[in-house]
A = this chain, B = another copy of it.
Amino acid sequence: MARIVQKFGGTSVADVDRIKNAALKVKAAVDRGQEVAVVVSAMSGVTNSLIELTQKMGPLPDGREYDAVISTGESTNAGLMALALQALGIPARSWAGWQIPIHTDGVHGKARITGIDTAEMEKCLKAGEVAVVAGFQGLGPNNRITTLGRGGSDLTAVALAGALKADQCDIFTDVDGVYTSDPRIVPKARKLDKVTYEEMLEMASLGSKVLQTRSVELAMNHKVRVQVLSSFEDKPGTFIVSEDEVVEKQIVSGISHSRDEAKITLLRVADRPGVAASIFGPLSDAAINVDMIVQNVSEDGKATDLTFTVGRADLDAAVKVLTDNKANIAYEKMSSDRGVAKISVVGVGMRSHAGVAQSMFKALAEKGINIQVISTSEIKISVLVAEEYTELAVRSLHTVYGLDAA
């Protein structure tokens, strides 16, 4: 018998009517003869309100109590969903993270799942009972409740699908799938029928909000077939699958963009061994992630220019760190720029196709868009451009790679 995990995000279970609507999606799966485990988020807005309450109690809330408080929204919804299913005549029961249990480490606020005991749940599923699981929460050491961090309910769903060896994990949300690009910027963006884990991973880290990186990684590692689909429409979404399921590979599957970047340039840095460590060591110590890095060839063999990007929210902190370490790094001047955007083309087909980067550079040049920094991986090419060119760049590339809807 086929087994499926269905996950409903905050907007899909935001009130009584939406929970009932989601319950109909579950009923459809039951009627198809599937064994179903459902993972629910809190009603949209609830977790944020709870976080606010914890913050009002005092500075730096204890992670254990923070988790005890903010996990309650999912517990409420798990019970309500079980009731909604029962009202449809479907046997169902709710499971809190501690009841299963979903074991995690003790890193409160962003715990990692270390194991899921599915023995009890297996019995219930086999007896025809729908298991309704509170997402986002687990059981840490010392019998305390933990939470999994942003996107945690997706993580619960994917991990549970892996542990239950489910045939599929449906992520119901307020978008109907993964698009070739952001439809708000690219009116001709198309919904993808399938996308590979690797592509989805790149897209997630490049700014796509559909699924968090951690969930995609987990799905890839456990070979969980994930479908992202709308809970408000009744049509297929996008399947996230392994590469061998994608018969005809797109050279480029999507164009991503991110405005969360800022650029720092250090001018005339001493060109000697160890200089990179002297720059990036202190930034790393300050928990600042550096993304794209480009180092010019040194003209005189003595000094070079170095450009890199950090998260825009980290820019001020990064500038401070570099100013404090100026003597040690030995650069002449520093400049920074918030007005940049990262544009990326992603596709597993790139591996076997030459000229993808060249098409990109040419298309941007034709539109008069200057490329400031380039970085590449096996299946993506990212460039940094002035932020004002974001929409133009994304739309141009979308056309160039043949992604526009007919």
Contact = CB atoms under 8 A, between A and B. Distances in A.
A53 B80 CA distance: 7
Interface string A88-107: 00000110101100000000
Contacts of A16: 53, 56-57
A47 to B, nearest CB: 12
Contacts of A65: 79-80, 82-83, 86, 93-94
- Most chain B CB neighbours (cut-off 10 Å) among A65, A73, A75: A65
B76 A50 contact: yes
Interface residues of A, number: 37
Query: What is the oligomeric copy number?
Result: 2
A83 B98 contact: no
Contacts of A68: 75, 78-79, 82, 94, 96
B72 A75 contact: yes
Contacts of A96: 68, 145
A54 interface: yes
Contacts of A66: 79, 83
Interface of A: 16, 19-20, 50, 53-54, 56-59, 61-62, 64-66, 68-69, 72-73, 75-76, 78-80, 82-84, 86-87, 93-94, 96, 98-99, 143-145
10 closest Cβ pairs, A-B complex: A58-B87, A69-B79, A68-B79, A57-B83, A72-B72, A65-B79, A65-B82, A16-B56, A72-B76, A65-B83
